[in-house]
Amino acid sequence: MAYDEQLAERLRGLLTIFPGVTEREMFGGLAFLLRGNMCCGVVGEELMVRVGRESYEAALHEPHVREMDLTGRPLRGLVYVSSDGLVSDGDLRAWAERGARYAESLPARV
């Protein structure tokens, strides 16, 4: 599995404010789960964020964001954020917290 270890370490540090975050190999990268629900992860050099279907279209209009399309078809509710959009810790924190807040809104899957 090839993913950006430095980005994964940055995420680990930021997600410590959410109790019970776990990690799992998923989508050819590393996923972070909160209460059993995926919130974000690292695939290659990109951040994967679960924004939910309601926020999906708006997220796609933000800088450095594109559809997550593992199978050639977009996975609505999930986006990729390129490394250009993650230069500052504040940018990464905003995306990580966005994914974590969405995961918290879902029923626990533990």
Q: Compute the distance between CA of residue 52 and CA of residue 87 in angstroms, rounded to an integer.
A: 24
- Give the residues across from 47 on adjacent strands: 42, 81
Write the CB contacts of 11 (distance below 8 Å, at least 6 apart in sequence): 32, 40, 42, 47, 92, 96
Q: What is the pLDDT of residues 99-108, one digit of tens each?
A: 999 999 999 9
Beta bridge partners of 49: 40, 79
Supply the pTM of this predicted model.
0.93
Which pLDDT tens digit goes with each residue over 63-103?
999 999 878 888 999 999 999 999 999 999 999 999 999 99
Assigned token pair, 85: 């959009």
Question: At 1, is the pLDDT very low, low, confident or very high (cuts 50, 70, 90)?
Answer: low
Q: What 3-state class would DSSP assign to 64?
A: coil
CB 78 within 8 A of CB 51: yes
Which is higher by pLDDT, 110 or 5?
A: 5
pLDDT of residue 88: 95
For residue 96, which of 17, 25, 24 has the smallest C-alpha distance?
17
Tens of pLDDT, residue by residue over 8-26, are 999 999 999 999 899 999 8
